[in-house]
Amino acid sequence: MTANRRYFLKSLGGLAALCSVGSVAARSGTGLAARPQIACNQYTWHTFYQRQGRTWSANLDASLADFAKSGLVGYEPSVNSADEIRTLAPLLKKHKLEMHSLYVNSTLHKADEAGKTLETVTAIADAARPLGLKIVVTNPSPIGRGRAEGKTDDQLAIQATNLDRLGAELKKRGMTLAYHTHDVEMRNAAREFHHMMLATDPAHVSLCLDVHWIYRGSGNSQVALFDIVKLYGKRITELHLRQSKNGVWSETFGEGDIDYLRLAQTLNAIGIRPHLVLEQCIEKESPNTLDAVTAHRQDLQYVKKVFG
């Protein structure tokens, strides 16, 4: 069961939620002025529930009660439309959960579809702005599920232009666009990843560093991971945190293949304090010893230990 949030998000329909949040500094390449509560994204919990034969969205009230029991306060939902915010925000308020960021899909490499994406994402942002939303995370869609070939140079150029446009629109709303990747963007000399970073304005597009997808996408390489931090560290607004052992996603966030203490020290040295979002998903080969609440309690303690 290798996790794939893009297709999970498409299947959600009207299921996501948002709530009020403390302030996050405006982006200009300097990270967050004050780090908000440690968060966890929705998809992580979906993978644990799926393993138990449960469905996260079947009873969202009960699911968010579990989330709160873990000690987590920040919640990063996956959102498809503005209507989901208006429908589900009361549940976040009920369970005293904050929302600093949200995750959205986007299609930006096709000129005829990019306009619809910008319309949808800005509508979500407008609906969420009164609630305090500050970071919108997006992973531009690949050209097709399971297809090995990458986007053409023309498609990459179109995507970068539209990514910058979206970031500019969100900046007008006092929000930050954070570019997110999986492993596919690291193929072919990571040309998609690097072009999105080099062809966009840092004032419009920051980086959500999904640490393990960078690591896995580059052939389980910490060399590649820390080279990217060296190249683009000043643009990191958010971290997605996941660990593995011997290449397999761990059941909890702790010591393993990636040296997170080194990462924390490296970011601290350059004055970056990104929003911390747990994404300790599980896959088919992951250990199966803990329920979601217990696992996330342990995750939270280790994140505090490493990042302070």
Quote the CA–CA distance of 73 and 126 in Å, as a whole number: 23
Q: What is the per-residue pLDDT for 1?
A: 42
Q: Which regions in the chain score pLDDT beneath 70?
A: 1-35, 144-148
Q: What is the per-residue pLDDT for 122?
A: 97
Task: Find the distance separating the first CA and the last CA of the chain, reported in whole Å.
Answer: 32
Q: What is the per-residue pLDDT for 308?
A: 86
Q: What is the per-residue pLDDT for 5?
A: 56
- 83-116 pLDDT, tens per residue? 999 887 999 899 999 999 999 999 999 999 999 9
Q: What is the per-residue pLDDT for 16?
A: 37
pTM above 0.95, yes or no: no
The two three-digit tokens of residue 129, written as one number: 């702005």
- 43-87 pLDDT, tens per residue? 999 999 999 999 998 999 999 999 999 999 999 999 999 999 988
